[in-house]
Amino acid sequence: MNTTLKHWKEAATLILAAGHRLGADAVSSRTPLTAAAGSPPDSSYGRSQLPHKSRFDYDVLLLKRSSKSGFMPNAYVFPGGMVDSSDFSSEWLDIFKSFSKSPNFGLRSVKQAPETRPPMFATDRLKLGSPISGEVAFRICALRETFEESGVLLVVSKSEERSLLKSIEGRCATDYVPHKKANELCSSELTKWRTLVNQNPSNFIRMCRELEVLPNIWALHEWSNWLTPEGRYGVSRFDTAFFICCLQDTPHTLQDEREIVRFQWSTPSEVLQSYQARELWIAPPQFYELSRMCRFPLLNDLHNFASRRATEGCEHWLPVLMKERFMSLLPGDKLYPLDSSGEAKEHMSTDPHLEDTQDSGLHRMVFSDSHSITLQVSITPKYNHLVPVGEQALPHDSNSQT
């Protein structure tokens, strides 16, 4: 764990997509929507362009936080949570001993230059007393928290370990570990170990050792990195690694009855429409990521994209809230501010250029109210990532809310 952080606590979350059968009226094309990776969106692309739920052959897991939660009460979130010291424990060296000759236990190398990597990945963990890198530990955290909160366990059995090791040793840079099924242990074992891990996160190590399984860190693909802005959701602020994983089938799921009071599997477009209908509330990062996923209504396309793109790395995003305006700026926006330390600050709305609705250099979220977000994106995403589907930047003479 990084005890040198001043403002944030490190955390990890998992966007978990699981397959289901397409409806009878599903679109047969396997081509993703336009303006996907590496290109700015067409300014005419609007909210009406959200793909219908019948086009999706997968759902995404969302968990409703308790009303008593200290961070984003009642919000629907992806499974995940704060890093525990056990996620960086040296005991994982023994658990992953078959993979000890491979850097980061066989995870693929990221092409992103070290000086541009998000701090949570770039930090030298050996200097903080752990032989476990951030790339490994944050995946362990995401898997552990997903198990704790939803009962979904993503592990590799002893019988699969040898073939996985052989695959990792022989693959090229573009190869990837295919997605697997979850929850292959019997229900009594799952219940027993989930209770123990909820009592003490270090029991996740004990579980892996006794059951002779490995956390399936290879099935998780680096997706994004969000930081909580100052004063937005209370005192707690998190530097969160977002990973994505695609499963062939929807696993058995249960809420933990503590922090989580409900779960649901829904298509990305269903969640966004429910949010707009005020049937549920999701935070801006979840809104943004679900809007990105709408570019790929088919699981195989999403999985292939996420796997290929993950080796590019990701950008460190701290939303900057505009005082007296319902707007949040993201890196790349022409008004995004940085101080000398590189930390974005809350920004005043006195800049006359804020009234300029020209659609060049925009990367922002505009809020009409708590259930209405307009995404205005006219930049090209870094690291070959996706432009979200949504109401994008509008022409200068429009009635845009900027």
What pLDDT digit, counting tens, does each position of 155-194 carry?
998 888 888 888 877 764 344 555 567 777 788 888 899 9
> What pLDDT sits at residue 297?
96
Q: Which fold, 9-21+50-317?
A: Nucleoside Triphosphate Pyrophosphohydrolase (3.90.79)
> What pLDDT sits at residue 1?
56
> What pLDDT sits at residue 4?
55
- pLDDT 10s digits, 187-229: 888 889 999 999 999 999 999 999 999 999 999 999 999 998 8
Read off the tokens for 67: 């009303």
How far, CA to CA in Å, does 88 sit from each of 152, 176, 263, 284?
Answer: 21, 25, 28, 29
Mean of the per-residue pLDDT values of the chain: 82
> What pLDDT sits at residue 186?
81
Examine the pLDDT at 105 and tell me if it is beyond 90: yes
Examine the pLDDT at 305 and tell me if it is beyond 50: yes
Lowest-pLDDT range of 84-98, 177-191, 272-286: 177-191
Contact of 372 with 391, CB cutoff 8 Å: no
> What pLDDT sits at residue 28?
36
293-323 CB burial, b ≥16 within 10 A, e <16: bbbbbbbebbbebbbebbbebbbbbbbbbbe
Examine the pLDDT at 354 and tell me if it is beyond 60: no
Confidence of residue 377 (pLDDT cuts 50, 70, 90): very high
Examine the pLDDT at 290 and tell me if it is beyond 50: yes
- Residue 292: burial class (beta carbons within 10 Å; 0-12, 13-18, 19+): buried
- pLDDT 10s digits, 127-142: 999 999 999 999 999 9
Q: Angle at the Cα of 327 (from 324 to 331), degrees rounded to 5?
A: 125
- pLDDT 10s digits, 236-269: 788 999 999 999 999 988 876 677 888 999 999 9
3-state class (DSSP) for residue 131: coil
> What pLDDT sits at residue 387?
94
Confidence of residue 2 (pLDDT cuts 50, 70, 90): low
Domain with CATH 3.90.79.10 in the chain: 9-21+50-317
Confidence of residue 233 (pLDDT cuts 50, 70, 90): low
369 conformational bin, left if phi > 0, alpha if psi -120 to 50, beta if neither: beta
Examine the pLDDT at 44 and tell me if it is beyond 90: no
Q: Angle at the Cα of 78 (from 36 to 194), degrees rounded to 5?
A: 140
* Over residues 369-373, mean pLDDT: 83
Lowest-pLDDT range of 57-61, 104-108, 257-261, 272-276: 257-261
